[in-house]
Amino acid sequence: MRHIVGLLASSALLLTGCGGGGGGSASSPTPTPVASAPAPSPTPSSTCSLASRQTFAREVLDEWYLFPELLVTSANPNSFTTVQGYIDALTATARSQGKDRFFTFITSIAEENAFFASGASAGIGIRLAIDTPARRVLISESFEGAPGLAAGIDRGDEILAIGTSSANLRSVADIIAAEGSAGITNALGPSTAGTTRLLRVARGGVSREVSVTKADFDLPAVSSRYGTRIIQDGGRQIGYINLRTFISSADAPLRQAFASFRSAGISEFIIDFRYNGGGLVSTAELMGDLLGGNRTSSDLFSGLRFRASKSSQDENTFFAPRAESVSPVKIAFIGTSATASASELVVNSMAPYLGRNLALVGGNTFGKPVGQIALDRSACDDRVRVVAFRSVNSRGGGDYFTGLASTLDVTCQAADDLTRPLGDPQEGSIRSALDFLAGRSCTAIALNGPAGNISGQSAIGAQSQHGMIASDRELLVPAAPTPAQREVPGLF
């Protein structure tokens, strides 16, 4: 059985597969990653007409939606020019209550499968943060093996201007003033290999012009530069992991990292999820197992709970310690409101076992305790992901729609410090995490409502979630994100 947890513009908990493999229809009792609608008619154009695709989406929601009483059954499909627009109308009530913030959506089967297998994407390979009031765009992270880092663009750089040549460079300040955050997405162009842009980039007051051509690349889930390390702090050894996203290619480096921690006898850890929007639940379960060396097979890691009519699909997952597993005494999880889904699931699942020896450091998380199943219509390359279950921990806790901060015993507010590399012990959030592990005091994270607010223009349905990473910045997500951009907030 394979599950997926992920980010949908804002963030999304995804489940692909509640049963075995094979085919089936939208009304089959156990949807699978490749479940299909009935065989297509002889006329493909009719099979994949807008009306037909909308009908398929509606049938999926009618059968599986976690909040059937909240579906807007009066929504008229003829009033919408896209399948997503119709889905947004059907789920509007749940969205207004903060239960489905554009987590139910339609996507490409092929593109999503490619991303979850290896992080396949096309672009510059950078993560962007935008400070709209100040009209600034900053680089939060740059990915190995992608064009951006190869061109010398990295965390802490600021993009001052964007164009296709020196003759038509437009300042970022002017773009934001005229078009808002959507203008930056438009200026950077489509996420297709071969697209070239000229960027004026600055660091430390020194600017330069860099030409970069978008290319296909595989996103490393764990950075080769700072993804895992052992930090020396006051004579103590701290195991540090920065996980970008939960994809299958993360499994091997995670196992290797924990094997080294176990060999060194490390029992205190910093798990850096600050930009992690989610990914495969199988990888989240692996991380739980690797952190569960002192857990037993009778200890619940997480449970999935469906609507009453689908309660036969409910499932419990227990810890299964591995050869590389460690036995944590204390864990500091670094998060922001770009931290969602699988990341939140791991924190929520570990909390009952560590109590005050677990802290959330940085900012409040997004707040996404519900999840999707996926039903496919392969003839049209359509995958409908519908919110169908909620996740709970061993205490039954799971309704963290306003983020995890209010559910945890200890939180420590800290900055995402772009002046220092990720993995640096002096970076703001890492320094605060080290303070917690050493028993030093901290200021609790302020609770000001949902972490992931809906506004702006950077998400599906012409809406956006603010993946806030500081009081003045948010991760930039385009209006029509690719599967990779849904799961990796800020990716361009």
Residues contacting residue 39 through CB under 8 Å, at least 6 positions apart? none
pLDDT above 50: residue 39: no
> Same structural domain for residues 267 and 292?
yes
Percent of the chain topping pLDDT 70: 86
Strand ordering across the sheet containing 410-413: 228-233, 236-242, 268-272, 330-335, 358-362, 410-413
| Span 304-320, average pLDDT | 96
Determine, yes or no, domain membership for 374. no
> Same structural domain for residues 396 and 264?
yes
pLDDT grade for 483, boundaries at 50, 70 and 90? confident
Instruction: Show the tokens assigned to 113.
Output: 């499968």
For residue 47, the enclosing domain spans 4-118
| pLDDT tens by residue, 216-229 | 999 999 999 999 99
Strands 126-131 and 473-475: antiparallel
Instruction: Please say whether the beta carbons of 123 and 491 come within 8 A.
Output: yes
Determine, yes or no, domain membership for 128. yes
Q: What pTM does this model have?
A: 0.86
Q: What is the distance between the alpha carbons of residues 379 and 445, in angstroms, rounded to a whole number?
A: 48
What pLDDT, on a 0 to 100 scale, did the predictor assign at position 207? 97
> Same structural domain for residues 240 and 165?
no
> Same structural domain for residues 354 and 481?
no
Q: What is the distance between the alpha carbons of residues 238 and 257, in angstroms, rounded to a whole number?
A: 12
Which one is predicted more confidently, 462 or 343? Answer: 343
97-111, 162-176, 431-445: range with lowest mean pLDDT: 97-111
Q: What CATH code is carried by the domain that includes residue 401? A: 3.90.226.10
What pLDDT, on a 0 to 100 scale, did the predictor assign at position 438? 98
The backbone region for 252, taken as left when phi is positive above 0, alpha when psi lies in -120 to 50, beta otherwise, is alpha
> Same structural domain for residues 330 and 429?
yes
> Same structural domain for residues 103 and 152?
no
> Same structural domain for residues 302 and 338?
yes
Which of 118, 144, 175 represents a domain boundary (last residue)? Answer: 118
Q: What is the distance between the alpha carbons of residues 115 and 323, in angstroms, rounded to a whole number?
A: 28
113-117, 212-216, 316-320: range with lowest mean pLDDT: 113-117
> Same structural domain for residues 268 and 402?
yes
Crossing angle (nearest 10°) for helices 281-290 and 342-354: 30
What pLDDT, on a 0 to 100 scale, did the predictor assign at position 4? 39
Enumerate the H helices of 291-427 as residue ranges.
342-354
Q: What is the distance between the alpha carbons of residues 348 and 392, in angstroms, rounded to a whole number?
A: 8
pLDDT above 50: residue 40: no
Mean pLDDT over each residue of the chain, to the nearest integer: 87
Which of 118, 133, 165 represents a domain boundary (last residue)? Answer: 118
Determine, yes or no, domain membership for 336. yes
What pLDDT, on a 0 to 100 scale, did the predictor assign at position 463? 27
Q: What is the distance between the alpha carbons of residues 427 and 421, in angstroms, rounded to a whole number?
A: 7
Q: What CATH code is carried by the domain that includes residue 463? A: 2.30.42.10
> Same structural domain for residues 75 and 194?
no
> Same structural domain for residues 328 and 358?
yes
What backbone phi and psi angles, to 5 degrees, belong to 426? -90, -5
Percent of the chain topping pLDDT 90: 77
Determine, yes or no, domain membership for 382. no
Q: Is the dihedral of CA 109, 115, 116, 118 positive or negative?
A: positive
Instruction: Please say whether the beta carbons of 227 and 260 come within 8 A.
Output: no
| pLDDT tens by residue, 324-379 | 999 999 999 999 989 999 999 999 999 999 999 999 999 999 999 988 889 999 99
Look at the chain and report how many structural domains it folds into.
3
Give the angle 221-227-228 at the CA atoms, nearest 5°. 130
Which of 72, 89, 118 represents a domain boundary (last residue)? Answer: 118
> Same structural domain for residues 98 and 128?
no
pLDDT above 70: residue 403: yes
Instruction: Please say whether the beta carbons of 36 and 109 come within 8 A.
Output: no
Determine, yes or no, domain membership for 444. no
> Same structural domain for residues 240 and 126?
no
Q: Smallest Cα–Cα separation from 383: which of 126, 196, 114, 152? A: 114
What pLDDT, on a 0 to 100 scale, did the predictor assign at position 37? 32
Determine, yes or no, domain membership for 260. yes
Determine, yes or no, domain membership for 432. yes
Question: Which helix (H) or strand (E) element contains residue 52?
Answer: helix 50-64
Residues contacting residue 36 through CB under 8 Å, at least 6 positions apart? 23, 24, 25, 376, 377, 378, 379
Q: Smallest Cα–Cα separation from 276: which of 343, 209, 228, 324? A: 343
pLDDT above 50: residue 5: no
Determine, yes or no, domain membership for 448. no
